[in-house]
A and B are shown apart, each in its own frame.
Chain A
Amino acid sequence: DADVTQTPRNRITKTGKRIMLECSQTKGHDRMYWYRQDPGLGLRLIYYSFDVKDINKGEISDGYSVSRQAQAKFSLSLESAIPNQTALYFCATSDLSRTEWYEQYFGPGTRLTVT
């Protein structure tokens, strides 16, 4: 089983709808991240969380919100989806307490299309 899972893997939704993307991890890491990927722009950080009570905005948090329900779960919500939020979304985890502090483990991605 994958260490970092994302649901759904693909989603098509209409403008104005609320949508939630979910991320779960079995690695026991304390840090979790949400990125979006657009062609030519690489991955941009939306939100990140150091633990359940510590959530921080990334470079492009406008239009998004997050919830860290437990150490293993980090959800990304689009309260009112708009077409320019069409992108590939990645969840990632890392753990500074381990020797490999530098490595992030990525989920498989969620492809979101807003029509």
Chain B
Amino acid sequence: AQKITQTQPGMFVQEKEAVTLDCTYDTSDPSYGLFWYKQPSSGEMIFLIYQGSYDQQNATEGRYSLNFQKARKSANLVISASQLGDSAMYFCAMREWSDDKVIFGPGTSLSVIP
């Protein structure tokens, strides 16, 4: 069964606008972490942000924030004030404490339009 779902294969956003990339997950483990990675065209994987299942507040890192809705099992990434350099693939991932494996979603391709 798919544990991480990203329903948007591709998205466009105007420069300086905010954009939300969707991610839903499935787990029965009460302890888990959710991550977002960015993969630019150069191919490297860049860690962006982390949210723990017990964290009370949504995680934020600069222009990135994670909209964590635990009951809905969603962990959407919000990028504020998009920049041209934000054009990349974005992957949502989950790590279950009991399993220690990191499972990735299929990714969303974001294109920022000038």
Residues of A at under 8 Å CB distance from B? Answer: 31, 33, 35, 40-45, 48, 50, 58, 88, 90, 92, 96, 101-106, 108-109, 111
Contact with A along B35-55 (1 / 0, CB 8 A): 100000001110100101000
Contact of A103 among B6, B43, B47, B101 (CB under 8 A): B47
Q: Is the CB of A40 within 8 A of B33?
A: no
Contact of A42 among B33, B43, B107 (CB under 8 A): B107
Q: Is the CB of A45 within 8 A of B100?
A: no
Q: Is the CB of A50 within 8 A of B101?
A: no
Give complex CA distance A45, B9 in Å: 21
Q: Is the CB of A42 within 8 A of B95?
A: no
Q: Is the CB of B100 within 8 A of A31?
A: yes
Q: CB-CB < 8 A to A43: which residues of B?
A: 45, 91, 93, 104
Which secondary structure characterizes the binding site on chain A?
Answer: strand
Q: Is the CB of A102 within 8 A of B91?
A: no
Q: Is the CB of A42 within 8 A of B100?
A: no
Give complex CA distance A101, B47 in Å: 13
* B113 contacts the other chain (CB 8 A): no
Give complex CA distance A48, B99 in Å: 11
Contact of B102 among A40, A45, A50, A88 (CB under 8 A): A45
Given A42-B106, A43-B91, A45-B103, are A109 and B50 also a contact pair (CB < 8 Å)?
A: no
Q: Is the CB of B44 within 8 A of A106?
A: yes
Q: CB-CB < 8 A to A33: which residues of B?
A: 102
Q: Is the CB of A102 within 8 A of B35?
A: yes
Give complex CA distance A53, B63 in Å: 41
Give complex CA distance A48, B93 in Å: 16
Contact of A41 among B33, B52, B95, B106 (CB under 8 A): B106
Q: Is the CB of A109 within 8 A of B101?
A: no
Given A102-B95, A109-B43, are A44 and B104 also a contact pair (CB < 8 Å)?
A: yes
Q: CB-CB < 8 A to A44: which residues of B?
A: 104
- Residue contacts A-B, CB under 8 angstroms, 23 given: A31-B100, A33-B102, A35-B104, A40-B9, A40-B106, A41-B106, A42-B4, A42-B106, A43-B45, A43-B104, A44-B104, A45-B101, A45-B102, A48-B100, A48-B101, A88-B43, A90-B45, A92-B45, A103-B35, A104-B102, A106-B44, A106-B45, A108-B43
